[in-house]
């Protein structure tokens, strides 16, 4: 995308070009004795004001500070809104001058006036096309509005030429019909720019086509279980995006990696997106499986890795209060292992589809086991001094979700 400095230079060139047109039309109107040309010169001055407002909007839109951390991108939309006002004025002026000035038309040299207008029209058409192509490439709404505004000069030229020809051949009513049609077209252009500017200033959502493409990008990642929300807004020629996802990831680090890849894919596809914020959470589980270390007497023990037994509780988290649907006591296959016991135990618990591991105390000697469990996505739940009877009476179910 073009940077704001380059776009601001284009807007400044447009202001200078419009000022030259206004001076040329006024001089030609004086020379040819055409009141409509002189009036159109005043109309061209509104183009100068519009281009200057666009220049100021582009010049300051990307400045960020503590008060405006998201930048001042909406200055571009304010500039576009101001430009729409100038377009309405242009429609009114063209209609008024065409309807009222035609009967008072005094032309000293009609062929010279028409030839000069055609030359200026060609230059204006070329400049507006160039400005609009840059606006479309950069996505700048204010520059696009300025280019559309300059096109209204083409309609004004048509009105003036018809008026001159009508005066030359004795058909002044042609001027009135052309003025009505052209004024309606110009008003429509201004209306569309005004409505689009208001939509952005009021934080309208992103276009449905863009939302669909972003949804396809997100769904291309198999770890994405659900898109809970996908919302965005426009600000100037940039877009902002906020997404809430449910991710099936084993660890927090893996979830962050997936989110980073999604963000990079979106940025690559849409260079006009300034910021993507993704919130993520693990999937909700209807049932969870809890592992509890037991000693020889069948009570909860703080000796985790060498606990002779484990009690597995399958808990229905949809019911309130949560309900134990299955209990199973199994011998610890790695109780007597001396090397890598924590890693082997963690891998075994993962094979048993354990979601939560109950720990009665924070034992520093079990740090290796804790790390292995966490890396496999098993939540460690510290329950100091809890008895087995209390655990069976009030089974744990952390709001139906297991954290990464």
- What does the pLDDT look like over 231-243, one tens digit per residue? 888 876 678 899 9
Q: pLDDT tier at 7 (50, 70, 90 boundaries)? A: confident
In a domain, 292, yes or no: yes
Distance CA 191, CA 161 (A): 26
- How many domains in the chain? 3
Clarify whether residues 83 and 158 are in a common domain.
yes
In a domain, 400, yes or no: no
Clarify whether residues 122 and 235 are in a common domain.
no
What is the total residue count of the chain? Answer: 404
What is the percentage of the chain residues whose pLDDT exceeds 70? 80
90-107 pLDDT per residue, tens: 778 767 766 775 555 555
Supply the pLDDT for residue 341: 86
Clarify whether residues 49 and 66 are in a common domain.
yes
Clarify whether residues 258 and 376 are in a common domain.
no
Point out which residues pair with 323 in neighbouring strands.
Answer: 316
Clarify whether residues 246 and 380 are in a common domain.
no
Clarify whether residues 169 and 94 are in a common domain.
yes
Clarify whether residues 112 and 155 are in a common domain.
yes
49-71 pLDDT per residue, tens: 667 766 766 676 566 667 776 66
In a domain, 223, yes or no: yes
What tokens appear for 337 in the block? 């292992």
Clarify whether residues 144 and 17 are in a common domain.
yes
In a domain, 403, yes or no: no
Clarify whether residues 16 and 158 are in a common domain.
yes
In a domain, 401, yes or no: no
Q: Return the minimum-mean-pLDDT range out of 27-31, 113-117, 132-136.
A: 27-31
Answer with the one of 261, 281, 301 that is the final residue of a domain: 281
Clarify whether residues 213 and 197 are in a common domain.
no
Half-sphere exposure for 262 (CA within 13 Å, toward CB): 30
In a domain, 398, yes or no: no
Answer with the one of 201, 225, 247 that is the final residue of a domain: 201
Contacts (Cβ under 8 Å, ≥6 apart) of 276: 241, 242, 243, 263, 266, 267
**Residue 308 lies in domain:** 287-393
In a domain, 32, yes or no: yes
Q: Which CATH number belongs to the domain containing residue 226 in this structure?
A: 3.30.70.1350
Clarify whether residues 113 and 161 are in a common domain.
yes
Which single residue is written with the structure tokens 């994405």?
224
Mean of the per-residue pLDDT values of the chain: 80
Which single residue is written with the structure tokens 């008895």?
387
Task: List C-alpha distances in Å: 309 to 139, 363, 369.
Answer: 65, 18, 16
Answer with the one of 160, 177, 201 that is the final residue of a domain: 201
Q: Which CATH number belongs to the domain containing residue 77 in this structure?
A: 1.20.1510.10
Clarify whether residues 167 and 254 are in a common domain.
no
334-372 pLDDT per residue, tens: 888 888 888 899 999 999 989 899 988 766 667 788 888
Q: Which CATH number belongs to the domain containing residue 308 in this structure?
A: 3.30.420.130
In a domain, 67, yes or no: yes
Supply the pLDDT for residue 182: 64
Give the three-state DSSP class for 203.
coil
Distance CA 241, CA 141 (A): 19
Supply the pLDDT for residue 96: 77
């Amino acid at each position: 995308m073009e940077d704001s400095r380059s776009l601001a230079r284009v807007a400044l060139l447009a202001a200078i070009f419009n000022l030259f047109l206004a001076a040329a039309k006024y001089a030609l109107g004086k020379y040819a004795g055409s009141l409509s040309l002189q009036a159109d010169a005043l109309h061209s001055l509104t183009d100068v004001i519009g281009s200057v407002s666009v220049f100021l909007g582009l010049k300051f839109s990307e400045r960020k500070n503590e008060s405006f951390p998201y930048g001042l991108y909406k200055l571009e939309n304010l500039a576009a809104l101001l430009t729409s006002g100038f377009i309405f004025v242009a429609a009114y002026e063209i209609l008024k001058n065409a309807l009222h000035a035609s009967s008072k038309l005094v032309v000293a040299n009609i062929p010279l006036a028409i030839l000069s207008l055609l030359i200026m029209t060609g230059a204006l058409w070329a400049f507006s096309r160039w400005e609009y192509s840059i606006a479309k490439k950069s996505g700048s709404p204010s520059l696009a509005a300025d280019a559309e505004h300059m096109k209204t000069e083409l309609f004004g030229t048509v009105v003036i030429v018809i008026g001159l020809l009508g005066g030359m051949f004795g058909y002044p009513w042609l001027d009135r019909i052309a003025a009505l049609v052209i004024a309606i077209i110009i008003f429509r252009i201004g209306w569309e720019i005004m409505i689009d500017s208001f939509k952005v200033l009021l934080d309208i959502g992103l276009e449905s086509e863009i939302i669909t493409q972003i949804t396809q990008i997100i769904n291309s990642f198999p770890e994405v279980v659900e898109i809970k929300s996908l919302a965005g807004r426009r600000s100037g020629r940039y877009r902002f995006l906020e997404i809430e996802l449910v991710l099936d990831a084993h660890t927090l680090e893996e979830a962050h990696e997936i989110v980073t890849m999604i963000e990079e894919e979106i940025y690559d596809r849409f260079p006009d997106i300034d910021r993507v914020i993704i919130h993520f959470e693990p999937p909700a589980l209807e049932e969870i499986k809890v592992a509890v270390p037991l000693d020889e007497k069948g009570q909860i023990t703080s000796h985790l890795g060498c606990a002779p037994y484990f009690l597995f509780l399958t808990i229905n988290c949809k019911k309130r209060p949560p309900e134990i649907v299955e209990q199973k006591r199994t011998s610890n296959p790695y109780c007597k292992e001396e090397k890598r016991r924590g890693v082997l135990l963690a891998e075994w618990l993962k094979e048993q589809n354990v979601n939560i591991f109950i720990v009665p105390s924070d034992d520093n000697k079990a740090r290796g086991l804790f790390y292995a469990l966490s890396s496999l996505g098993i939540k460690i739940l510290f329950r100091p001094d809890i008895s087995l009877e209390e655990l069976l009476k009030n089974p744990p179910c952390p709001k139906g979700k297991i954290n990464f």
